[in-house]
Structure 1
Amino acid sequence: MKKLNVEICDVTLRDGEQTPGVSFTCEEKKSIALMLDEIGVEVIEAGFPSVSENEKRCVREIADMGLSARTCCLSRAVKSDVDAAIDCGVDLVSIFFATSDLHIRIKYKKTREEMLEEALRMVEYATEHGIDVRFSAEEGSRTDISFLKEMFERGYEAGAKYSSIADTVGCMTPVEMYNTVLDVTETLKNPLCVHCHDDMGCATANTISAAQAGAFQLHTTINGIGERAGNAALEEVLVALRMKGGIDRYNLTPLMKTSKMVEEYSGIKVAKNKAVVGDHAFSHESGIHIAAMLVEPSAYEYFPPELVGGQRKFILGKHTGRKALEHVVKCLGCSITRDECAWVLEQIKTKSEGKCSITPEVLLAILKEAREEKH
């Protein structure tokens, strides 16, 4: 992959909070914003000010934190929403309307041309009040491509700094996303943003594919939280950009800590097998794997856990081999003979097949039993 030219806009504080049942306090939002700033995220979408007075206050407080990141908020293409954004003092407002024929028909009862004219007036209004605009097509992935191009062309003429496509229902595949971005950016005069949802499990892949095709601003959420199946996960996108896109300016070390913070604040548990930040992301049980990793960790880890603030774990179970057992026993400050090793391995396999987790306490008990058997 060629070196990519991108920036990150993290939307955890807005779209992430739209996860069913999730609501962050203002202090929690500010804590998350500080972590995002430490990571080096360029834009933080702080909220949707028109939702409530408390939301508006939180967005304003985040905008006043003196972060290195620019702050952003969401706005419908209506004057009261844009006024709320202006009052918050954010650097960027994302003005959106749903652009697919389906949404225009069921939500607005107007033609797409009428909706575009209304939205353009709000782009001009925000620009006249000194705030940068991201002109966003909700349902962009199911919108006629010629209308998208017209929308973005006229948005640019009205002063929009960015154009944005949202795959609102997560219906795109990476190849479709790549081709769409390639087509749109062919005539686009300002940077393109992509906002991907994970309904078919493609959000991160779609985001990286969009970047490869020329998209500049990539939208993410921590742990991939968000409406329904969520959004492109910040930690996955950043690791992909580091490992495949030649981008090393982000500080990835706080990713694990940030993930745990959002897990706690949101109440949404991270799957154990979740890429990058899951409990099993750097856990190994296979004896064949562990034997190789004791010589060279990269044999079965594409990137080291330390990169993202994680820790490698060797888990004992039915697939464990002698070298792994010897290593784990040594880490516990104990020793084991070859004869004991064979007996202990047999006990580990039996207990593991019986769905018993081989914790350090269980292992030490087996070791004790092995020595008692010997004598």
Structure 2
Amino acid sequence: MCGDRTVVNGSGATSTEKPAHQRTPYESVGDFLSNTNNFKIIESTLREGEQFANAFFDTETKIKIATALSDFGVEYIELTSPVASQQSRDDCEAICKLGLKAKILTHVRCTMEDAKIACDTGVDGVDLVIGTSSFLREHSHGKDMVAIEKAAIEVINYVKSRGIEVRFSSEDSFRSDLVDLLQLYRAVDRIGVNRVGVADTVGCATPRQVYDLVRTLRGVVSCDIEVHLHNDTGCAIANSHAALEAGATHIDTSVLGIGERNGITSLGGFMARMMVGSRDYVTSRYKLHKIKEIEDMVADAVQIVSEQLVIQSNFGISITSLLVAKLWLLLDWDDSLSTGRDWIRTLDRAPQLSQLEEDVATGRTAGGLVPSLASATATAPQWVDNMPKAAMHFHCAFTHKAGIHAKAILANPSTYEILKPEDYGLHRYVHFASRLTGWNAIKSRVEQLGLTMTDEQIKEVTAKIKQMADLRPIGLDDSDAMIRSYHLELQEA
């Protein structure tokens, strides 16, 4: 019979057996290195996703998202560094105590101080990271490759001594020197790191480049390989698949693809890609029917229109894509519409008014209610007229929120941007007001305000800003007020 095959079992009898699943033309070509049918997901919505321009996750929301992701079937959930703020540490400890099926990881700098705090939270694994490209070595941490390798070995050995899983990742891997990179990975592999990470931090890599680097690395290390791929040029999902074909074992994702700038590989989009060629593997491990529920949950948490971002994220959010932030104002219907129209008129005038351009670039426009505002579009008034709230548009591609990123961007934009915002008629926005804010970003803001403070004083006011940001979302006006108030206290003292 066509499609059947006769086999002989161990007792000598014959039987007719049909394949459990017919091959499709979309399945990957057989390759002994390929892991398209044997991969794990490291879900980073509660780490990378928290760097999304409009993200603020309180403890209850984090627990709901973590529980839903574990139920969906992801193998790992990655959380914001407990060093970022006290609330970040408390949340990390709380999620570790939930007893979820998914392993809990946290992502920290490759320093002993960060590693010790991370291990004390009760996580199952610690993800270490340090920049290895010339851009980041010069403008982020100032270490050469010898110092990086020494620090990596010291910190990895410490985490291992605590009986905790450890991953070591270079940051900006695709703009790093290949020889330096492979030497570093070989060194950490020798001492027993569980995984090494490859990061396309600026979203510059193509599938071919990802395949070549991962395949080369696969011949150098025996440990697992994780990839973290940004979506600045729309290649994140394709790059993730190419990495698996080359021998990667773990893929970083976030729900709706949210994250720093244009985000990373979206969970839903990646699942769609893998369902085409690895259906049996995917359906045996992940509850795909839960995807919509999780996406709606996250969309609501970051105050965006779910349906629009689902479409955009699963097909790649382009540089000029406009996401809609729902700003629920404590105004009645008429006031909301009036406010919204005023904002639209302000934006329409922005190209002609340098002060307004600067307000847009720094996020001061509209009282700091939105992270960044860009020029209005023809559809914007329709949103205002049809929604009982003010709806504004903002660009994410050039928004920087993470503390490490902000420090380097302020020194040299090329550290975390491969494209220039001015080429698109847009503005760069460095987020000065969140629990992820670093003291270097606040130092820059202090200088912009024309104030004088020592580094220690700036670190102290940064801690105050983080404390406030742990309690509620804050804007630039809030952080500026805290900076000015603190400076006044110093003057009076």
Aligned mates of 2:249, 2:56 — CA distance in 1: 29
Paired amino acid for 1:113: V
Please give the alpha-carbon distance, in whole angstroms, between the structure 2 residues aligned to 1:197 and 1:262: 19
Instruction: Tell me the equivalent position of 1:172.
Output: 205
Aligned length: 279
Alignment match of 1:97 (pick from 126, 130, 143): 130
Question: Match of 1:261, as an amino acid?
Answer: M
* 1:212 Cα offset (Å): 1.4
Alignment correspondent of 1:148: 181
1:320 alignment counterpart: none
Question: How far apart, CA to CA, are the structure 1 residues paired with 2:299 and 2:310?
Answer: 13
Distance of 1:85 and 1:229 partners within structure 2: 27
- The offset of 1:276, in angstroms, is 9.5
User: Within 5 Å, which residues of 2 pair with 1:276-291?
Assistant: none
State the match for 1:263 in structure 2.
299
Listed as ranges, the matches of 1:29-48 within 5 Å are: 29-48=62-81
Q: Which amino acid aligns with 2:114?
A: D
The one-character-per-residue Cα deviations of 1:277-318 (angstroms, maximum 9, x if unpaired) are 88xxxxxxxxxxxxxxxxxxxxxxxxxxxxxxxxxxxxxxxx
TM-score by length of structure 1 reads: 0.71
Instruction: Tell me the CA shift for residue 46 of structure 1.
Output: 2.0
Within-5 A mapping of 1:1-375? 1-2=27-28, 3-246=36-279, 247=281, 248=283, 249-270=285-306, 272=308, 274-275=310-311
Q: Which amino acid aligns with 1:251?
A: K
Give the CA deviation at 1:275. 4.4
Once the two structures are superposed, what CA deviation does each residue of 1:231-273 show, in whole Å capped at 9, x if it has no partner?
A: 1000111122222134222111010111010000011334638
For residues 143-197 of structure 1, give each alpha carbon's deviation from its aligned partner in whole angstroms, at most 9, with x where no partner exists: 1122221111111222310000110000001111111111111121101000000
Aligned 8 A contact 1:256 1:277 in 2:
no
The Cα offsets for residues 321-362 of structure 1, whole Å up to 9 and x where unpaired, read as xxxxxxxxxxxxxxxxxxxxxxxxxxxxxxxxxx9xxxxxxx
Q: Identify unmatched segments of 5+ residues in structure 2.
A: 1-26, 29-35, 315-381, 383-493
Single out whichever of 15-24 and 150-159 deviates more from structure 2. 150-159
TM-score in terms of structure 2 length: 0.55
Contact kept, 8 Å, 2:46 with 2:78, in 1: the verdict is yes
5+ residue gaps, structure 1:
279-354, 356-375
Deviation, structure 1 residue 21: 3.0
Conserved in 1, the CA contact under 8 Å of 2:295 and 2:310? no
Corresponding residue of 1:350 = none
AA in 2 matched with 1:256: K
Give the CA deviation at 1:72. 0.2
C-alpha separation in 1, matches of 2:157 and 2:309: 46
Letter of the 1:48 partner, please give it: S
Aligned partner of residue 49 in structure 1, secondary structure: coil
Cα distance change on mapping 1:261 and 1:273 into 2, 3 Å: closer
> How far apart in 1 are the matches of 2:297 and 2:309?
18
Partner of 2:469: none
> Helix, strand or coil: the match of 2:83?
helix
